[in-house]
Chain A
């Protein structure tokens, strides 16, 4: 019956395609369109469900709780605000830039241990696709379900390539599952796995790595080695020593670099011995100074320890070798070598024969690599020109509050024009003295009569980094200043607008923090909400 009907329908379609003049329909009494209408209604009325395809395996459970309702509403709002077309920047009006607050919201949500609401996962992945800077946090927040979803949509392939702790990793102690994933997982999963196992037990991580080490491709060996940088311990030394004999030059030099960051390692000791023979205290002159005798050759042993023999174009061989030796030498040895002098005294010692620049640069690299606060402090305030990039690297080794204080003083002395790069290494929210220094400097810039967009970079940073408790103090700056003679025309209005945006952004951040902390916004008055949001979470 069905097959006769199907055949009759096929005949109808053929007639209709070719034309009834050429191919009369076989329907007998009924005109073609009548027959087709009958057939169509009959087919539609008799539709049956299709056979179900194999369902996807369910997304892994995410034990984290969802953010509170107000915070979820806020996230929807932040995700709905897509960045404008490029070039539409410049003056930005008085309203906060929501796009800039999304990274902060995500970071805070992760700190609270929330998972992304399922209904926002698609928008979150789209946002992460458009903005690489969002990816790490967005993917961690999206978690296992986000990765599950990304596997189904080719547009979200990036999520599977990116490193993320959000995937469903086996527990570090589940030996069999760990080994299974280590043998068969995607590269990103393996990196995440290695990190997780090492966080639990550094030795177990090294043991895991050793099981497949000789079979890995050179670029993978390099990436795995690089991931040991976090949480490097003395226990890693034997493995790194073996890697010094690796086939790949990049692997060898990375291993050497890691070993030199371990002050008690044998490599660090060997490098120290070499550096000692080059640098000494010269007491034969009126004023005590450091004398330098750079190495005359780069022997096989040095090369095995990671010293690169061929200098880049334009640099002398001997100073190139010297720099590498000093850089890899534990900083602690210099106090002994230079007769008990502390780092701040060492960096002020004169250096003979024009070696000062070379020596100080090598110490700076060593201080950054070994994250030595005492040496960083000494080099920051010592003599010699230091670029902003080097300064921000050295600052990174200082404790948070000291770093903030240092930059605050720098801004007070030098103004804002050079501060941008330094501000980027500060903890958010900015400590009070730093925030005050930035706001004071902005106010000075306004009073000097220039336009605010010369400071839009710092202004943008302030919106994101200033402590929200500063908002009430800033209200006064939103007032329209009197136009002075030296001021650029209309500048006062733009400054007022810029400060308005700063204040409303700070209030918004306070509200975001309160919402994420689960405080009911309705129950709190404005001031109380601000105050509560500022409470350090005990």
Chain B
């Protein structure tokens, strides 16, 4: 596709809100530094944006003599800055976006970007078809690879995972013979060593489940039940792996995914207007995992994008919550899997018409229950609840519920979510009246991620 073609397809760009911009910040320090740079145009010159290309650019004077060149592609959401910061996006990109979001007059509406910004944008547009064919980090680079060698490598890895799963079964069996009560005293060391063995066995999915076990004995009342449940689910996964030849193909793929083998998005692309339902980051050691939920307004499908960022870098993909994206998604294989990879995007994000149609608390639990048939290891399932009210429990911030506005039913709010500030934002939005809430519903309760008040299309992120 030539440059002209791209430009014609791009729809009217929508300014983001300050919240949406700040959500991109990799950490609190960047957020703060970015806010300051974006509070006024004092440090900026030659700033501009072009509706057509989705680009925002500007020169930011730093402490040195030469100003930094900052460009943001709001259509693809990518950043480039000549500053030496290793943070991503850097404070300059954040500040520039804030200035643009606030419609500051210093960011002038200009049909063509200056050369230095335009080159980069054009380069990105030209790259895009390659992005699509690249598939994802898991897939090999294609032609250069000898298929026979790849098959042998996959076989060797499967053997190692099998050895790991067998060893894990043995360890679980030992644990149960001696009793879980001993696990309380054994502490983290027991699990750390087992997890390390699973890493050696190239089964990262097993390793992370083992690590999660280590936190359960200190998780308060009822821990033996939770530990037994999770040990049982881990055992089920081992068994499923060891007997994967007997499973239906889709379930076998799910098991491979759960164990941690690379699987690439290979489904036919689904083009839709995807509403960005939520975006949340979780940090695990040095790795930041970003999970984005999308809802297709035409297909009614819900899909999840995953992206990762290492060591102080925010993940590369950032989508503003509440906006709609005209794009292709490529689903990942496996039963009960909602994960997809982002394909070609047809223009910058646009406004949405509001939340998807919601369901009741009972229906959300039923949907989770049904999803377990395809993937019994699912901890939760996405759901939009319509007309629910946050109800406080007896003891402070613990024990909150989301109750159906009509009727007697309620879902407990997951306790880790109760501790987060999102709960208070949600309660403030509700004011004791019904709201629409998107979140994840599972056996640990409901984790609210985004809320809408009646009569508005504006999505308020709770993360």
Given that A37-B236, A52-B403 are contacting pairs, would A96 and B36 also be in contact in the complex, using a CB cutoff of 8 Å?
yes
Chain B 398-440 per-residue mask, 1 if CB under 8 angstroms from chain A, else 0? 0001011001111110000000010011011101110000000
Chain A residue with the shortest CB-CB distance to B453: A118
Measured between beta carbons, the chain A residues less than 8 angstroms from B225 are 13
**Contact pick for A16, options B176, B361, B396, CB 8 Å:** B176
Chain B 151-193 per-residue mask, 1 if CB under 8 angstroms from chain A, else 0? 0000000000000000000001100111111100000000000
- Do the beta carbons of A522 and B103 come within 8 Å of each other? yes
**Contact pick for A149, options B41, B102, B393, B424, CB 8 Å:** B424
For the complex, is A168 an interface residue (Cβ under 8 Å from B)? no
- Do the beta carbons of B428 and A121 come within 8 Å of each other? yes
- Do the beta carbons of B443 and A32 come within 8 Å of each other? no
- Do the beta carbons of A96 and B231 come within 8 Å of each other? no
- Do the beta carbons of A95 and B391 come within 8 Å of each other? no
- Do the beta carbons of B35 and A98 come within 8 Å of each other? yes
Given that A18-B181, A73-B101 are contacting pairs, would A505 and B365 also be in contact in the complex, using a CB cutoff of 8 Å?
no
For the complex, is A74 an interface residue (Cβ under 8 Å from B)? yes
Chain B 91-117 per-residue mask, 1 if CB under 8 angstroms from chain A, else 0? 000000010011111100000000000
A76 to B39, CA, bound (A): 11
Measured between beta carbons, the chain B residues less than 8 angstroms from A48 are 362, 365
Measured between beta carbons, the chain A residues less than 8 angstroms from B231 are 16, 33, 36
Of B14-22, B206-214, B347-355, the one contacting chain A is: B14-22
* Nearest-Cβ distance from residue B29 to partner chain A, whole angstroms: 10
A36 to B224, CA, bound (A): 12
Measured between beta carbons, the chain B residues less than 8 angstroms from A53 are 391-393, 401, 403, 410
Chain A residue with the shortest CB-CB distance to B178: A19
A96 to B235, CA, bound (A): 58
Given that A52-B410, A56-B392 are contacting pairs, would A82 and B368 also be in contact in the complex, using a CB cutoff of 8 Å?
no
Of A196-204, A373-381, A496-504, the one contacting chain B is: A496-504
Measured between beta carbons, the chain B residues less than 8 angstroms from A84 are 32
- Do the beta carbons of A12 and B412 come within 8 Å of each other? no
Measured between beta carbons, the chain A residues less than 8 angstroms from B433 are 58-59
For the complex, is A476 an interface residue (Cβ under 8 Å from B)? no
- Do the beta carbons of A145 and B428 come within 8 Å of each other? yes
- Do the beta carbons of B409 and A52 come within 8 Å of each other? yes
**Contact pick for A77, options B38, B172, B176, B182, CB 8 Å:** B38
- Do the beta carbons of B368 and A47 come within 8 Å of each other? yes
- Do the beta carbons of A73 and B17 come within 8 Å of each other? yes
Measured between beta carbons, the chain A residues less than 8 angstroms from B182 are 19
Chain B residue with the shortest CB-CB distance to A49: B409
Measured between beta carbons, the chain B residues less than 8 angstroms from A524 are 105
- Do the beta carbons of A505 and B40 come within 8 Å of each other? yes
Chain A residue with the shortest CB-CB distance to B33: A95
Chain A residue with the shortest CB-CB distance to B106: A526
A76 to B322, CA, bound (A): 17
A153 to B425, CA, bound (A): 12
**Contact pick for A94, options B42, B173, B228, CB 8 Å:** B42
Question: Which residues in chain A, 1-50, are within 8 Å of chain B measured between CB atoms?
Answer: 12-13, 15-22, 32-34, 36-37, 39-41, 43-50
- Do the beta carbons of B176 and A20 come within 8 Å of each other? yes
For the complex, is A511 an interface residue (Cβ under 8 Å from B)? yes
* Nearest-Cβ distance from residue A350 to partner chain B, whole angstroms: 57
Measured between beta carbons, the chain A residues less than 8 angstroms from B224 are 13, 16-17
A20 to B172, CA, bound (A): 12
Measured between beta carbons, the chain A residues less than 8 angstroms from B369 are 44-47
For the complex, is B118 an interface residue (Cβ under 8 Å from A)? no
A44 to B368, CA, bound (A): 8
* Nearest-Cβ distance from residue B172 to partner chain A, whole angstroms: 6
For the complex, is B128 an interface residue (Cβ under 8 Å from A)? no
A152 to B106, CA, bound (A): 43
Question: Which residues in chain B, 2-59, are within 8 Å of chain A measured between CB atoms?
Answer: 17-19, 22, 31-32, 35-43
Chain A 111-125 per-residue mask, 1 if CB under 8 angstroms from chain B, else 0? 000000011011000
Chain B residue with the shortest CB-CB distance to A19: B179
Chain A 121-151 per-residue mask, 1 if CB under 8 angstroms from chain B, else 0? 1100010000000000000000001001100
Overall SS of chain A's interface: helix
* Nearest-Cβ distance from residue B129 to partner chain A, whole angstroms: 35
A119 to B17, CA, bound (A): 13
- Do the beta carbons of B35 and A20 come within 8 Å of each other? no
Measured between beta carbons, the chain A residues less than 8 angstroms from B407 are 52
A12 to B42, CA, bound (A): 68
Chain B interface, number of residues (Cβ within 8 angstroms): 79
A163 to B143, CA, bound (A): 73
Chain B residue with the shortest CB-CB distance to A61: B431
Measured between beta carbons, the chain B residues less than 8 angstroms from A504 are 39-42
Measured between beta carbons, the chain A residues less than 8 angstroms from B409 are 49-52
For the complex, is B397 an interface residue (Cβ under 8 Å from A)? yes
Measured between beta carbons, the chain A residues less than 8 angstroms from B432 are 55-59, 148
Count the A-B residue pairs with Cβ separation under 8 angstroms: how many?
Answer: 223
Given that A17-B224, A45-B372, A50-B411 are contacting pairs, would A145 and B431 also be in contact in the complex, using a CB cutoff of 8 Å?
yes
Question: Which residues in chain B, 351-400, are within 8 Å of chain A measured between CB atoms?
Answer: 361-362, 365, 368-370, 372-373, 376, 389, 391-393, 396-397
For the complex, is B249 an interface residue (Cβ under 8 Å from A)? no
Chain A residue with the shortest CB-CB distance to B410: A52
Q: Report which residue of B105, B227, B372, B433 has the largest number of chain A beta carbons within 10 angstroms of its beta carbon.
A: B105
* Nearest-Cβ distance from residue B355 to partner chain A, whole angstroms: 15
Chain A residue with the shortest CB-CB distance to B35: A81
- Do the beta carbons of A98 and B36 come within 8 Å of each other? yes
Question: Which residues in chain A, 146-162, are within 8 Å of chain B measured between CB atoms?
Answer: 148-149, 152-154
A45 to B442, CA, bound (A): 9
Chain B 196-239 per-residue mask, 1 if CB under 8 angstroms from chain A, else 0? 00000000000000000000000000001101110111011001
- Do the beta carbons of A96 and B453 come within 8 Å of each other? no
For the complex, is B90 an interface residue (Cβ under 8 Å from A)? no
For the complex, is A252 an interface residue (Cβ under 8 Å from B)? no
**Contact pick for A153, options B42, B362, B424, CB 8 Å:** B424
* Nearest-Cβ distance from residue B385 to partner chain A, whole angstroms: 11
A487 to B448, CA, bound (A): 59
- Do the beta carbons of B232 and A521 come within 8 Å of each other? no
- Do the beta carbons of A77 and B102 come within 8 Å of each other? yes
For the complex, is B251 an interface residue (Cβ under 8 Å from A)? no
**Contact pick for B179, options A16, A34, A153, A522, CB 8 Å:** A16
* Nearest-Cβ distance from residue B427 to partner chain A, whole angstroms: 6
- Do the beta carbons of A50 and B431 come within 8 Å of each other? no
Chain B residue with the shortest CB-CB distance to A153: B424
- Do the beta carbons of A41 and B431 come within 8 Å of each other? no
* Nearest-Cβ distance from residue B447 to partner chain A, whole angstroms: 15
For the complex, is B195 an interface residue (Cβ under 8 Å from A)? no
- Do the beta carbons of A37 and B233 come within 8 Å of each other? yes
For the complex, is A70 an interface residue (Cβ under 8 Å from B)? yes
- Do the beta carbons of B425 and A55 come within 8 Å of each other? no
Measured between beta carbons, the chain A residues less than 8 angstroms from B42 are 94-96, 500-501, 503-504, 507
* Nearest-Cβ distance from residue B246 to partner chain A, whole angstroms: 15
- Do the beta carbons of B39 and A50 come within 8 Å of each other? no
Chain A 500-523 per-residue mask, 1 if CB under 8 angstroms from chain B, else 0? 110111011001000000000110
Counting from the closest, the 10 A-B pairs by CB-CB distance are: A19-B179, A504-B42, A59-B431, A58-B432, A36-B232, A49-B409, A52-B403, A504-B40, A52-B410, A121-B428
A-B contact pairs, 13 of them (CB 8 A): A45-B368, A47-B368, A50-B410, A50-B411, A77-B38, A77-B102, A96-B39, A148-B432, A152-B392, A153-B397, A505-B40, A507-B40, A521-B105
